[in-house]
Amino acid sequence: MKIAFIHPRYPFSDGTGATYSATQIVRGLSAAGHDVCVYCPSEPDDRVQDSNLELRYLTGNSNHPHTMTRLNRELSSRKDEFYEFDIVHSYLMRLMPSVGKIGRETDTGTVVTLNAYGGVCAKNDLRYRDETQCERKSTSRCLNCILRSGRDTDTSYLYETASQAFSLRLINRSEHVLQHINAYQALTSHVKNIYTDFGFDGNKIVEIPNILDKKFDIAHEGDFNRPFKLLYVGYLKQSKGVDRLPEIVSKINKNSENEFELTIVGDGELRQSIKQECSRRGLTDVVEFTGQIPNEELPAVYAKHDIFLYPGRWDEPFGRIFLEAMATGTPVVTTDTGSVTEIIGGAGIVTEQSITALVEAVISITDNSELQCRSEEGKKKVDDYKRISVIPQFENLYKSIID
């Protein structure tokens, strides 16, 4: 098949989970023998060429200050290019208006990945006023949410508010062309159900998970013995629940006969306040802040720890971090956020949204000597997310559209 794949960045870059996940799809399809042309929102500083991939850049026809509005205009202005392809697959949800237009005006099959909530939420998090889970949308309700969110923590409030208002306009425009998009890829059944609840045609939504980055598929190096080594990896912000980590570690060490240490990998707006709270609680000797670590070094970091601890509040669409922990044989203790139970299976413990529940889960999983068993379950479970298992699902989806 000849496939046009619209990438969040470009397939050789570091970046967010979406960038890595899209790159895994592109490389997997190319390795399976498909002719893949990657459309990139920007040009890399140094053009690294891959003989199996053609790169095209979505630049030159629009100078709109809002990135996704610019990309939609760019894509629409070049719709005639897509006659040559069997499938156009966008990993950017906010391009639904232009992808729908391509579906309406060409005979090319169209697919959009639903890897978060940007297809129905201008803030991409479905958190109404940053407080409660949103379950319905209207223009007035969404504008009210945009205007009243982000004031306490976001130093660029005016910029973010304007950007989200433009995103809301794209969401509203996409509603007029959804019928011309052939299919959607949802990362989990949870994501599928949310989009269905917001009016998307559930018959068009196919569940295909993220692909595991194979460099994380390594042997576990920890010995699952005291002092137990806890690990958090991710952005340090309130929605990730990281503000709860000092209290969690303090209570675990107070209530368990075992000793625990915590490594915090990542950076963000709460780093300084978390460090101050750790100091106030006398945890400076047991909590280490590493800052950001290059992606290629992360597998070894996971593998040397005994438990991956995630205290998140946000309803995660998927959570690539769980795959990374499981692939390295590191058991997971996490709050119930979105699809996590579906993703990890028996590789860990999923708790309710409370510090007490997380503390009890960590103590339980170590006191009952469950770690080795959970580690083995995780290594088995990640087979479902390897390229050899996932790429055929994309091929079947594409074939169902063009046949």
DSSP assigned state of 109:
E
- pLDDT of 183 over the 90 cut: yes
The mean per-residue pLDDT over the stretch 157-185 comes to: 95
Q: What angle do CA 103, 108, 114 make, to 5 degrees?
A: 60
Band (300; pLDDT cuts 50, 70, 90): very high
The mean per-residue pLDDT over the stretch 239-260 comes to: 96
| CA distance to 163, 182, 245, 344, 365, per residue, from 359 (Å) | 39, 46, 10, 19, 10
For residue 128, list its beta bridge partners: 132
Average pLDDT, the chain: 93
The structure's pTM equals 0.90
Pairing of strands 348-351, 332-335: parallel
- Tell the CATH topology of 2-211+387-402: Rossmann fold (3.40.50)
- pLDDT of 103 over the 80 cut: yes
The mean per-residue pLDDT over the stretch 4-23 comes to: 84
Amino acid at 160: E
Q: Report the Cα–Cα distance between both ends of the chain, in Å, rounded.
A: 12
Percentage of the chain with pLDDT > 90?
82
Band (155; pLDDT cuts 50, 70, 90): low
Q: What is the signed CA dihedral for 140, 146, 147, 150, rounded to 10 degrees?
A: 160
Between 43 and 121, the higher pLDDT residue: 121
Cβ atoms of 88 and 102 closer than 8 Å: yes
Helix (H) or strand (E) holding 290: strand 287-291
Cβ atoms of 247 and 213 closer than 8 Å: no
Q: Tokens 């508010």 correspond to what residue?
A: 161
Residues 6 or more apart whose Cβ sits within 8 Å of residue 254: none
- pLDDT of 266 over the 60 cut: yes
CATH 3.40.50.2000-classified regions of the chain: 2-211+387-402, 214-384
Of 156, 16, 172, 163, which is closest to residue 91 (Cα–Cα)? 16
214-384 maps to CATH 3.40.50.2000:
yes
Count of all residues that appear for the chain in the document: 403
Band (49; pLDDT cuts 50, 70, 90): low
Tokens of 318: 């998927």
Among the ranges given (49-58, 141-150, 240-249), the one the predictor scored with the smallest mean pLDDT: 49-58
For residue 231, list its beta bridge partners: 263, 308
Q: What are phi and psi of 396, to 5 degrees?
A: -65, -40
